[in-house]
Amino acid sequence: MKRRNHYTRIHRTTVVLLLAWFGATAACSDKPRSRLEQIWNAGKIVMITDTNAHDYYQYRRRPAGFEYELAEAFADYLGVGLQVVTPGWDKMFGTLNSGKGDFVAAGLPQLPYWREFVDFSDTYLETAKHVIVHMDNHTIRAMNDLNGKKVHVGWGTSIHRRLLALNDEGYDIRIVPHKKVTIEELIRRVAEKDIDITIADSHVAYLNRRYYPVIRKSIAVSGLQHLGWAVRKGDAELVEIINVFFDRIIREGKFAQIRDRYNASRDRFDYFDLKKFHERVDSRLPPYESVIMRESRDHDFDWRLIAALIYQESHFDPEAISYTGVRGLMQLTLETAGDLDVEDRRDPVESIAGGIKYLKWLYDLFGDIPASDRMLFTLASYNIGYGHVRDAQEIARKKGFEPNSWIALRRTLPLLSRSAYYRQTTHGYARGNEPVRYVDRIMTYYDILRWKALARG
């Protein structure tokens, strides 16, 4: 459990006013204290979720996941700690209604039959259920093509219920329900051609294309569905403050920042690039793993992030030379190599050691940037140069954006290629779109490497 203060400092007044209003309402009755008051007094809020790459998982003994990061921001907003419980998909509502948790955050569509048991927040994400097949499989082009086909799904899930409803409408889908099997496992089996068809929500399918580039999202078997967090029936105060929180982080850009960490470049999916990345991780990375691990550990970096950076720079090719003359695994310039005492940029050990040392130097320069964004600033500087990143911050400051936020820099870095902006900067013109794409790609590769580590157990 963690206690954080960012949102507490900014939004505590809002929370206190809401609590005061709810408290005044409660004072008019003999009802026990509201759940929100209990959370405040306990100093923690308990999130109920499922363990998977989208909702919540542990990496290097640290929690991660799209739903987890949203919940962490919500706990910050309330000024309390966050505790996570994962009872299993089929036990989440039971855990909620037994009082062992405060809210369910697990990519839940706001379906009518679930509203009998829980109340939902406002929508924070929209999705649809799609057929998932191997890219070689072109047999499913319309709903009728599912007749007589085996479709593998998780037992009791909203996807399972949707297929049952379709059969009630007259379709003849051979549903194969699996207990205690995640959608990611079913997608893996499709990728390996162990099974032919599964169904996944579109946001889950987009994420898993990174890990299994050979899967293909086919026809939709549902209309657009609205995702929300669930609370116990009658917990109106908690629903209200969740809605206020979502409205705020969406307006401020915090929601987009979290979403993009798990869905960056979803509309620019490059099958050939990701397939090549998976292949080269297996064929080219192993000779360099030990030195990457050692040098990363010496500078307190995650070696998989460094590996993702190296792939973006050179595709793990020590002989790589760019059109600008930078060389080696980490594409060091001649000047930078000299500053780092790197004698041979093509030598893998020298290049890796020098490149990580340079990255650490940049990282230390960004001590004023919040921890969540500091490495993103550092990576952008590795690509475009430290001075240009500071110029983009100054543009953000003049526009009234938060200059220490990556959200703002995504907007202002591209302006460095426009004369109206770069003529007013210290370091002048730069191709500012490149570092944005560069950071997105590295973080996608990094996510895949983390997933591979988790998949190996």
The set of catalytic residues is: 313
DSSP 43: T
Closest CA to 254 of 55, 406, 412, 90: 406
State phi, psi for 350 to the nearest 5 degrees: -65, -40
Name beta bridge partners: 440.
Answer: none
The residues pairing with 243 across neighbouring beta strands, listed in sequence order, are none
129: closest CA among 178, 202, 183?
Answer: 202
- 409 Cβ neighbours under 8 A, 6+ residues apart: 376, 377, 380, 389, 392, 393, 396
Please count the other Cβ atoms lying within 10 Å of the Cβ belonging to residue 432. 25
d(CA 370, CA 406): 10
Tokens representing 457?
A: 């157990």
Region at 52 (left for phi over 0; alpha for psi -120 to 50; beta for the rest): beta
